[in-house]
Chains A and B, each alone.
Chain A
Amino acid sequence: MRTPRLLALAAIGVLGGSLAACGGDDSSSSDSASGGPIVVKASDTACEVAATSANAGTSVFTITNGGNKITEFYVYAAGDRIMGEVENIAPGLSRDLHVELPAGSYETACKPGMIGKGLRAAFTVSGSAAPLTDDAKLADATASYSRYVKSQTEALLPKTEEFVTAVKGGDVEKAKALFPIARTYWERIEPVAEIFGDLDPKIDGREEVTEEGMAFTGFHRLEKDLWAATPDISKDGPIADELLTNVKEIVAKANAEKLSPLQLANGAKGLLDEVATGKITGEEDRYSHTDLWDFNANVEGSKAAIASLRPVLEERDAALVKTLDTEFANVDTTLAKYRDGDGWKLHNQLTQADLKSLSDAINALAEPISKVAAVVSQK
């Protein structure tokens, strides 16, 4: 967490209005004209999508996870702009994705183990779609990002519940394993969470930022107890309960919040600032050293915000988009060196030279990203 700088921005330039919710699990949407859902057979090594094209309108994908790893399913537009996604599909389960797709070229992707670029396939949508006006493009950007926030909160809640249950059940090993995973969904949308001033420190405050009269609670308090030399979480039940209560509250608030395009731009930059100040230094997860999970989640969240703005940015400053693509790819490549199975190396396993290369990559990305806000606010 950090001081809620976005608070002041929340008041200005609020866009929104009657944006139709499209995508997500909105079961009221109608199927595509091609008739019936598109079946997706997902396994640990394959992603068989029954169709490679559809007509413009709402497409429905039915994803069945026949593998042993938890998977996700995405539909991406150019630049990995997420048009729709289903997170957290456990082995053996089936989930539907309703997603509204205008004519264009897309990619479908399964992500077994919830990591990497996923198993991709081309997906083409044809038919007519009215061109968007400038204002409509900005509205579309915030709608697109709202879908992202929704998808993340839909995974944050059950994962936090699992984590809290493990803590309350005294299962230290399980709680330790769940800690960085539950946090991933939190870290991806942290700039949104930070809008709600007092909740963020309660959920994600580090020990040194607790003010006088305020208890040290939330994720990091539980982290400290879980990673103690002799872990004792027998008295952490109330803290775990409070964490879940606060997460529920912030999820409700985050989904009700109408964000402005400027907030998206500043959020994309804010997430990289988080990486530069808290994750590179190992301050965020100082007991568990799972900082790279948060690092990656921050970068993914930043990428999602930029992806939502992409059509606007493409039109106004195509060179900047090209630079951002290059530098996001550079961050991903640099970070990928520290993959460890389905997770990441621990911060204290990295050398100073490793950390410097990560810092260089973030700086190279954050400088151009800091220019996005001015491009978005152009009249």
Chain B
Amino acid sequence: MSFSWNVSRRRAIGLAGIGVVGAASVGAGVVQAFASETDNSVAFAGEHQAGIVTPAQDRLHFVAFDVITKDRARLISLLKDWTAAAARMTAGRDAGEIGAVNGVPEAPPDDTGEALGLPPANLTITVGFGRTLFRDADGRDRFGIAAQLPPALDELPHFPGDVLDAALSGGDLCVQACADDPQVAVHAIRNLARIGMGVVSVRWSQLGFGRTSSTSKAQATPRNLFGFKDGTANLKLEETGLLKEHLWVQPQDGPAWMTGGAYLVTRKIRMIIETWDRSSLAEQESIVGRHKGTGAPLGHTAEFDEPDPAALPEGSHVRLAHPSLNGGARLLRRGYNFVDGSDGLGRLDAGLFFMAYQRDPRKQFVPIQRNLARHDEMNEYLKAVSLGLFACPPGVSGNGDFWGSALLA
């Protein structure tokens, strides 16, 4: 009996009892052109990586890796393996070619199995490269790509008030897995980490349980843990002109391998929610610059009314982050709420895992964050603990292509 790769996880589990062994085999690093699932799967290949303007899914598992090999060939081989596995998982299939239950009994399965029976859940897997992949702390060219280091991947400056945990910051590679089912997102990261053993080592990781941004006009604006609508003025999928201007790296920006990519800033922001909850509604709204109920700018009645920075409180978040005060800079935010249990003092260890994609952080995130760090009234309730900057290459074109091929091939 033959086994078709067009069998989804949900159908594969039904067949498992028959002891089917995967017959079709594909070369490592080859993106399979899977027949599209009828239900909720996102296209893997394309001009841009999925998971950036894709309508923000509900759940996140994000991980940053250190590369522990010195061997360029092993790094390339990993990126090929990851690309192939990600293409399969995005389509709702097992991470490996054989699968969670179809192999020989003596071998460990090449998929960990916890996503069996689950739908693709709009899974997207997005990869980025950190500055330290290009040069180590001593400035050495690690993989012969230092000349390809994008100027926009400059080290981020220190922002006043930041007390960052180095162990939770940075990383040579990052992978963002977003899905509408938390187990599907965790499954993706777990399997990629396993494939990477010996080549990469998990540096830090973060789960997000609820999206705090909309990246499409079709989505309602969600709320962050302060209880406010977040991301009303976000860049959106439909705004193609603005995306070209503010999000996607253009040919004239250089280096060439980043054309069609974007830069990702991650910032884990602990919210001191207990003191926030004790502040009055008027104070909360004044700090944010929006009405808590509707999300409308203060003095307005509808969420999408254009705020007038001059009419907002001086230190309000919306005013300080407004493009008019930051040289017109916009971001595509894609953050998630997190609760990492409690902190031992009876307080929730909770906050926002901020993620923002952009064309050039030197002109976008950095000036905006400088402004916020100095003047934002909200800082009293925030504590940034981690910071990361990653260059996310363009999407893969299809068969044979892999993440970072233009950088490393």
Instruction: Give A contacts to B, CB under 8 Å.
Output: 262, 327, 356, 359-360, 363-368, 370-371, 373-374, 376-377
Count of residues in B whose CB is under 8 Å from the partner chain:
11
Complex interface: chain A residues within 8 A of B108 (CB): 370-371
Complex interface: chain A residues within 8 A of B103 (CB): 374
Cross-chain contact A262 with B201 (CB below 8 angstroms): no
Does more than half of chain A's interface fall in helix, strand or loop, or is it mixed?
helix
Residue in A367, A371, A373 whose CB lies within 8 Å of B198: A367
CA separation between A360 and B198, bound complex, in Å?
7
Complex interface: chain A residues within 8 A of B325 (CB): none
Cross-chain contact B107 with A364 (CB below 8 angstroms): no
Cross-chain contact A377 with B198 (CB below 8 angstroms): no
CA separation between A377 and B103, bound complex, in Å?
13
CA separation between A356 and B201, bound complex, in Å?
9
B19 to chain A, nearest CB (A): 15
Cross-chain contact A364 with B106 (CB below 8 angstroms): no
* B194 in contact (CB, < 8 A): yes
A120 to chain B, nearest CB (A): 27
Cross-chain contact A363 with B107 (CB below 8 angstroms): no
What residue in chain A is nearest B107 (Cβ atoms)?
A374
Cross-chain contact B107 with A367 (CB below 8 angstroms): no
Cross-chain contact A360 with B104 (CB below 8 angstroms): no
Cross-chain contact B197 with A373 (CB below 8 angstroms): no
Contact digits for B106-122, partner A, Cβ 8 Å, 1 yes 0 no: 11100000000000000
What residue in chain B is nearest A362 (Cβ atoms)?
B197
Cross-chain contact B104 with A364 (CB below 8 angstroms): no
Complex interface: chain B residues within 8 A of A356 (CB): 201
B118 to chain A, nearest CB (A): 25
* Residues 156-202 of B at the A interface (beta carbon under 8 Å): 194, 197-199, 201
Contact digits for B82-109, partner A, Cβ 8 Å, 1 yes 0 no: 0000000000000000000001101110
Complex interface: chain B residues within 8 A of A360 (CB): 68, 197-198, 201
Cross-chain contact A371 with B107 (CB below 8 angstroms): yes
B348 to chain A, nearest CB (A): 26
B153 to chain A, nearest CB (A): 25
Residue in B104, B106, B198 whose CB lies within 8 Å of A363: B198
CA separation between A374 and B104, bound complex, in Å?
7
Cross-chain contact A374 with B106 (CB below 8 angstroms): yes
Question: Given A360-B201, A373-B107, 11 other A-B contacts at CB below 8 A?
Answer: A327-B198, A359-B201, A360-B197, A363-B198, A363-B201, A364-B197, A365-B198, A367-B194, A367-B198, A370-B108, A371-B108
CA separation between A72 and B68, bound complex, in Å?
35
Complex interface: chain A residues within 8 A of B197 (CB): 360, 363-364, 366-367
Cross-chain contact B106 with A377 (CB below 8 angstroms): yes
CA separation between A359 and B104, bound complex, in Å?
28
Contact sample, A vs B, 20 pairs, CB 8 Å cutoff: A327-B198, A356-B201, A360-B68, A363-B201, A364-B197, A364-B198, A364-B199, A365-B198, A366-B197, A367-B194, A367-B198, A368-B198, A370-B107, A371-B108, A373-B106, A374-B103, A374-B104, A374-B107, A376-B106, A377-B106
A7 to chain B, nearest CB (A): 17
CA separation between A370 and B108, bound complex, in Å?
7
Complex interface: chain B residues within 8 A of A374 (CB): 103-104, 106-107
Complex interface: chain B residues within 8 A of A371 (CB): 107-108
Q: Taking each of B68, B103, B104, B199, which has the highest tally of chain A beta carbons within 10 Å of its own beta carbon?
A: B68
Sort A-B residue pairs by CB-CB distance and give the 10 closest, nearest first. A364-B198, A374-B107, A377-B106, A363-B197, A360-B201, A374-B106, A373-B106, A367-B197, A370-B108, A374-B104
A243 to chain B, nearest CB (A): 35
CA separation between A165 and B17, bound complex, in Å?
57
Complex interface: chain B residues within 8 A of A359 (CB): 201
CA separation between A248 and B345, bound complex, in Å?
52
Complex interface: chain A residues within 8 A of B104 (CB): 374, 377
CA separation between A25 and B175, bound complex, in Å?
56
CA separation between A359 and B203, bound complex, in Å?
12
Complex interface: chain B residues within 8 A of A368 (CB): 198
CA separation between A217 and B104, bound complex, in Å?
40
What residue in chain B is nearest A266 (Cβ atoms)?
B106
What residue in chain B is nearest A327 (Cβ atoms)?
B198
B315 to chain A, nearest CB (A): 39
CA separation between A69 and B107, bound complex, in Å?
43
B109 to chain A, nearest CB (A): 10
What residue in chain A is nearest B104 (Cβ atoms)?
A374
Complex interface: chain B residues within 8 A of A376 (CB): 106
CA separation between A371 and B104, bound complex, in Å?
11
B72 to chain A, nearest CB (A): 16
What residue in chain A is nearest B194 (Cβ atoms)?
A367
CA separation between A377 and B107, bound complex, in Å?
9
